[in-house]
Amino acid sequence: MMDKYTLLLVDDEEEVIQIIIKKMDWEALGFSVVGHASNGVKALEMVEEYQPDVVMTDIKMPYMDGIELTRQIKERYPEIKILVFTGFDEFEYARESVHMGVEEYILKPINSMELSEVFTKLRAKLEQEIREKRNVETLQQYYMESLPLLQANFYSTLIEGKITKEDLEKYLINYQISLTGPFYCCLVIHTSSSQVPENINPVLLDTLVKKQVDERLSPKWRMSHFTYLENGVAIIQLDKEDDMIELTDDCDKFCRYAQRILGAVVTVGVGSCVSDILQLSRSYAGAREALSYRAIYGASRAINIGEIVPQNREMEASEQNSEVSTLFKMIRLGDENRIKEAAEKYLQHPSFSGQSLQQHNVAVMEMIGELYRFASHNNIPAEEMLGDMKQLCDRLVDFVPDVLKQWLTDTSLSFSEKLAKVRSTSSQSIVTDAKEYIYTNYADENLSLDEICRELGVSNSYFSSIFKKETGTSFIGFLTECRMEHAARLLIETDEKNYVIAGQVGYADPNYFSYVFKRQFGASPSKYRMEHTKSEK
């Protein structure tokens, strides 16, 4: 079980919050207060950041009341437990909150004994739920009830690219499989076997993750889920290509859920979108490649191949050669030692040390062709880095083995460095476009992370990670700063009323605008205007 469960307190009365914090022995109850918010809007931001186990909220608050807060939390994070407390003893409030799945409805003034009982029961419930999810017998039963062998074999053969067009329909009918599309993609779901909770068997944990994938992702996405090469693999059917962004975000949320609730480090590789079932092997290859990028982007997240490599890059048939495929993979991952090892192994292929000089020369020319193709598919300026292909061939065929190995190693390292710059430039370009969009649309009160990601054509998870990396702040933080800067300028340079300025910078609620402004500048809009217009005079 978890050592402590996290609690977020929400009440517009600061003294009430402080009384609750100081009055209770939270450590003895098995809880830790991770923060508190004075309104529902701020609470939602904190829920996103901290992902608490429990939220305890008042009902009547400014900007967003407890009922609306509860509704939004339950919609986005159904596993979070919610307690409602209020001084308003009204049946309708109670009925509505209970209807939304609230654990308890507590009346003010809060009695410490009563509150202790509530949290004691709540902790027991949380522990029971986790026990059920980690129950070995349940996991073993699910393991025995997993997909029938024939279906699993079909899916495995499909993603290997070994199903013919002539046989496809027969297999679908015989194995009662529905793959109607019109679009498809593959996910590869990897559960770390080295980072597992204490006393949990890695195999059983992996089984638990697969069960949770079925429970949390399958209801929304048309999914065929099976095990292949020790990883979970899912074939997803999509109504339109644009659904890839939402799918990636849902996978990213699942990874964070798995780490928080199950104690599992899960990474999901998301392959490319295809319109032909027989092209699923290409999507699967992309998903596996995306998964390998966890060495760069980190684990416990979803990684979409379409967002981290140049668009429209196809896996060349030549890359299926294991030695060259391994070398190119190491170049993409940027590990210097592994690049050197892969280059050496590539040159150990029999074709480089064959019986005839002609065979050696052909192998060298093929190697150069592979490098040119790789550069072209990854937006690397091949001629700038390699020079003229004919001249290069003439030079390399005369190299002794050690010199050829050094040349290939140096070239591979240069490619890796250039590829990292290409990725960085791509990220910077997205962030630049995002900033420009914010500067142009900050006055729109409906401007949101979802909207800007739709505009840029990337998933929320990918955008959020590169935006924070490039700017040092979140999208919401940057948007707020932008709005506040414009508001401060309008307060000094115009005579407009506060509520007018609020609307001009994207706030429909003037009171909330004042609250955010004071939080940003330490003074209300009126006081800020008075102080700055005085100083100018």
Give me the pLDDT at residue 120, please.
93
* Domain match, 410 and 448 both: no
Give yes or no: residues 502 and 379 share one domain: no
pLDDT score of 320: 42
Residue 169 lies in a domain: yes
124 in a domain, yes or no?
yes
Core vs surface per residue 57-89: b (16+ CB within 10 A) or e? bbbebebbbbbebbbbbeeebeebbbbbbbeee
Residue 512 lies in domain: 442-536
Judge contact between 287 and 305, C-beta under 8 A.
yes
224-235 per-position pLDDT tens digit = 999 888 899 999
**Are residues 23 and 121 part of one domain?**
yes
Predicted confidence at residue 377, as pLDDT, reads 74
Domains in the chain, number: 4
| 207 and 170 within one domain | yes
Q: Domain holding 484: CATH number?
A: 1.10.10.60
Predicted local distance difference test score (pLDDT) of residue 96: 65
324 with 304, same domain: the answer is no
Which H, E and C letters describe 39-74, residue by residue?
CHHHHHHHHHHHCCCEEEEECCCCCCCHHHHHHHHH
Question: Is residue 387 domain-resident?
Answer: yes
Tokens describing residue 452:
């800007």
Query: Which two tokens mark 238?
Result: 């999509």
Q: What is the pLDDT of residues 125-170, one digit of tens each?
A: 998 888 877 776 676 666 556 556 788 889 999 999 999 999 999 9
Specify whether 249 is located in the same domain as 105: no
Domain match, 160 and 303 both: yes
| In a shared domain, residues 247 and 286 | yes
Last residue of a domain, one of 308, 329, 348: 308
Q: Is residue 430 one of the residues assigned to a domain?
A: no
3-class secondary-structure state, position 512:
helix
List, for the chain, all residue ranges whose pLDDT scores fall below the cut of 70: 1-3, 88-99, 136-137, 139-148, 310-321, 353-357, 397-398, 534-537
The pTM is what? Answer: 0.55
248 within domain boundaries = yes
68 and 129 housed in the same domain: yes
366 within some domain: yes
Q: Give the residue from 47, 48, 57, 45 showing the smallest Cα distance to 20.
A: 57
Mapped onto helix, strand or coil, the DSSP state of residue 101 is coil
For residue 211, being part of any structural domain is answered with: yes
* pLDDT at residue 134, as a whole number: 72
pLDDT for res 73? 92
At 248-292, the pLDDT tens digits run: 999 999 999 999 998 999 999 999 999 999 999 999 999 998 888
| Cα–chain center distance at 231 | 19
- Does one domain contain both 304 and 159? yes
Phi, then psi, of 255 in degrees rounded to 5: -60, -40
The b-or-e profile of 434-443 (16+ CB within 10 A means b, else e) is: beeebeebbe
Q: Is 477 found in the same domain as 511?
A: yes
Domain finish residue from 99, 134, 169: 134
Domain co-membership, 302 together with 325: no
Residue that finishes a domain, picked among 376, 397, 424: 424
